Structure 1
Amino acid sequence: MDTADSASTGTERSRGRKGKRAVRRTQTASMADVARLAGVSSQTVSRVSNGYAGVNEETREQVLAAMKELGYRPNSAARALKRGEFRTIGVITFNLSTTGNMRTLEAIATSAAQEGYAVTLLPVAVPTQDEVRGAFSRLGELAVDAVIAIMEVHLLDAATISLPPHVQVVVADSDAGDRYAVVDTDQAGGARAAVRHLLDLGHSTVWHLAGPEESFAAQRRTDAWHAALTEAGRVPPPLVRGDWSAESGYRAGLRLADERDCTAVFAANDQMALGLLRALHERGRKIPDDVSVIGFDDIPEAGSFLPPLTTVHQDFAEVGRLCVEGVLRRMRHGGPEHGTTLVPTKLVVRGSTAPPAGDA
């Protein structure tokens, strides 16, 4: 059959590379079309398409060029059905503005990409159980192999969350270890290190600017602060509550500036510590001469605060990596349905903490 006859049947052909006959670019190019244009077998096209090894570089480039010329896109749905997996991890979270959530999400996306997986994000607009149930349902419809939830335990009602049986779940930043596999920072250990640092400097007690009541991380840090002071024989001062924002830290700082016996403050995160520093400065309380301040998170800007902020470093990259590692391990080999993996914290001492006046 000549070229004219081929055209009349609806399949246009032209002379390809190295004399091979090939299909001109159409929107319905098939794997067989790519194989003909590249002069290779369909099996070789499949191996290149799926990123498998065992194809020499010249052949790989030849196949990729043919794909580009024809506008061929592999059928990911068909490949997923054949493999029994979609190579996609769903992530459910809310409050994308917080440092911890954003950095954990970034680490999850990076680690997933390194493993050849895509990430589908479903942000929860309002942190309620109904919204979370809806997000889990939508992820089930979007064909994911696993789910990572970055949220508090009170939003994870296991009785009402429904996913296909093959979908694995790992939770970050929660105390849901009795129901799910959890990866989290050692919140308590970091808070204890902060309090001990200030007591070791000679401060008689440590005030605490806490995060919101509904936050698991905030509660763990508050409990550890209280326990560390009690174990050291010190009386915990009244708790001051914030909402993670610098503005709430500023408001708390205006209050604490009037507490003349306040010489040391442990803020539950760096953003609140930033607002606290500003308020104390405006009220004439020098840092660290009059008041020592320590934060939690070690955000990238912490070393540029005035003075540079002593803080507890959280390894968000490791949390994200372990979340991905956990769901992939459970997908491939099985594993425990619940339990908690803690990532250690590290105290980073900078210029915002010092012995109380008269003790230096």
Structure 2
Amino acid sequence: MSNPPTRPPSIRDVAGIAGVSPQTVSRVLNGHHSLRPATRDRVQAAIGQLGYHRNYAARSLSTGRTQIIGLVLFNTDSYARSTVVSSIELAAAQLDHSVICAPISSMNDHAIETAVQGLVDRGADGIILAVPMIRSSPVVERIGTTTPIVTLDGSRTESSELLVIDQALVAELATQHLLDLGHETVWHLAGPQNWIEACDRSEGWRTTLERAGKAAPPELQGDWSPASGYKNGLIAARIPDLTAMFVSSDEMAFGLIRALHESGKRIPQDISIVSVDNVALAEFSYPSLTTVAQPFKTIGKLAVQRLLHRLDPARSELPPVTLVPELIVRNSTGAPPAP
């Protein structure tokens, strides 16, 4: 006859070996900082000795929390978005939470509302809304009154918290850099205008030119993809007085650079280029890309921290928000060509 299976170790078993209360074991597991190091070490040694693992199902029944963060994001293979997602997942794991993603394929209210409601239905304690909404949704607003929501680079609502990088400042840094190099004006390859980031960058570019007394050329339109950058690069190569361009993303800039090379244009001798994001490949393009770096890893970590603070203000500290873009000057910008 086979032996009956033994039950897995419990918090009470850990507490018995460590000589502490089950509440103390729970505090160690939850990362409380008020415990003495010797007590923490004894509990962790007992956990290792028993091979104890948390039962999250039982924990959610006792606490009413699932330790799940919902993440709504636009379905894209963008390097920038993947960096934000990975930073959110890493920060959540470090704080003993898991992430459920709800990608959407279109930037409309119905898709966003369905994704948010679906995450609530699946038990998410809180939601990070990583979609650049231009306007707030009444449904998301209502859900935010009962489920904490942190929004990244979207519109502000009464019920959710907004973490935002100043995209107008991003455009100002890029445009002013080109003007300071002596270019008469700066052209702009914009992102899709249903993204609030693209709208804010367009406005920042235009405002910077107006403040400098420069006329704004016609705006070129892209869709964030390298292919749209390539298409617009073929157009840009045929514009005689174009010597400087602000591109709204690194990935569009990669396509634009290839088109300019194929059209016989030298960078930066003929045309200078500044873009946005500072993805890992920007340093290794040819020439290396001058770009405005955005703190994607920081914003993902802050989003998780601030969401958990909203869930339990007494248990987690509220970190300060420092989301400042930075101009990284490389080889794709220079003085305009001589007349």
Identify the match of residue 326 of structure 1 among 285, 300, 306.
306
Alignment of 1:82-93 (within 5 A): 82-93=62-73
Equivalent in the alignment of 1:183: 163
Match of 2:243 in 1: 263
Q: Does 1:168 align with 2:137?
A: no
Partner of 1:3: none
- Amino acid of the residue matched to residue 163 of structure 1? I
Aligned 8 A contact 1:136 1:161 in 2: no
Q: Which residue number corresponds to residue 219 of structure 1?
A: 199
Q: Indicate how the Cα distance of structure 1 residues 328 and 202 shifts in structure 2: closer, same or farther if over 3 A, else same.
A: same
Whole-Å Cα distance in 2 between the matches of residues 177 and 116 of structure 1? 28
What CA deviation, in whole Å up to 9, does each residue of 1:62-103 have, x standing for no partner? 4444346xxxx5432332233343322111112241233211
How far does the alpha carbon of each residue in 1:22-49 deviate from its partner, in whole angstroms, 9 at most, with x for none? Answer: xx644x5463895699697883776676
Query: CA deviation digits over 1:311-360, x for unaligned, max 9?
Result: 101011121122122212222239xxxxxx6721111111110111128x
- Normalising by structure 1, report the TM-score: 0.81
Give the stretch that moved more between structures: 122-131 or 286-295.
Answer: 122-131
Q: Deviations over 1:126-184 (max 9, x none)?
A: 43322222222221122222110001224741246653854200100213256631112
Q: Is the 8 A contact 2:116 2:140 kept in 1?
A: no
Aligned to 2:10: 31
Distance 1:45 1:264, change over 3 A: closer
Aligned residue for 2:261, secondary structure, equals helix
> More deviation in 243-252 or 53-62?
53-62
Q: Figure out how many residues of one structure are paired with residues of the other and give that number.
A: 328
1:32 and 1:115, CA in 2 relative to 1: closer, same or farther beyond 3 A?
closer
Q: Give the letter for the 2:61 counterpart.
A: L
Structure 1: which 5+ runs fail to align? Answer: 1-6, 13-23, 335-340
Closer, same or farther: CA 60–227 of 1 in aligned 2, 3 Å: closer
Shift of 1:255: 0.5
SS of 2:280 mapped into structure 1:
coil
When residues 278 and 62 of structure 1 are mapped into structure 2, their CA distance, relative to the original with a 3 A threshold, is same
Query: Partner of 1:198: helix, strand, or coil?
Result: helix
1:345 counterpart = 2:325 = yes
Q: Say whether the 8 Å CA contact 2:141–2:157 is kept in structure 1.
A: no
Verify: 1:307 aligned to 2:287, yes or no. yes
- Does 2:181 correspond to 1:197? no
Which range moved further: 40-49 or 59-68?
40-49
Q: Is 2:230–2:259's contact at 8 Å kept on the other side of the alignment?
A: yes
Q: 1:292 aligns with which of 262, 267, 272?
A: 272
TM-score (norm 2): 0.85
| Equivalent residues in 2 for 1:36-185, closer than 5 Å | 43=22, 55=39, 57=41, 60-67=44-51, 74-154=54-134, 156-159=136-139, 163=143, 166-177=146-157, 180-185=160-165
In structure 2, relative to structure 1, the CA distance for the partners of 1:25 and 1:46 (3 Å cut) is farther
In the aligned structure 1, how far is the partner of 2:279 from the partner of 2:181?
A: 24
Percent identity at matched positions?
A: 33
The residue type equivalent to 2:88 in the other structure is I
Query: Which residue of the partner structure matches residue 337 of structure 1?
Result: none
Kept in 1, the 8 Å contact 2:136–2:157? The answer is no
1:357 lines up with 2:334 in the alignment = no
2:134/2:155 contact within 8 Å kept: no
The CA deviation at 1:106 is 1.5
CA RMSD of aligned residues (A): 3.0
Measured at CA, do residues 64 and 42 of structure 1 come closer, stay the same or move farther in structure 2, by a change above 3 Å? farther
Instruction: Write the distance in 1 (CA, Å) between the matches of 2:225 and 2:149.
Output: 30
Cα shift at 1:302: 0.6
Residue 245 (1) aligns with residue 229 (2) = no
1:178-224 per-residue CA deviation (whole Å, 9 max, x = no partner) reads: 66311121211010011111111110000001101111111110111
Give the superposition deviation at 1:51. Answer: 6.4
For the 8 Å contact 1:38–1:66, the answer to whether it is kept is no
Structure 2: which amino acid aligns with 1:204?
A: E
Supply the distance in 2 between the matched residues of 1:324 and 1:257 (Cα, whole angstroms): 44
Question: Partner letter of residue 324 of structure 1?
Answer: V
Deviation at 1:263, TM superposition (A): 0.4
Task: Answer with 1 or 2: which has the greater Rg.
Answer: 1
Give, in whole Å, the separation in 2 of the partners of 1:62 and 1:140: 36
Can you give the 5+ residue segments of structure 2 that lack an aligned partner in the other structure? 315-320
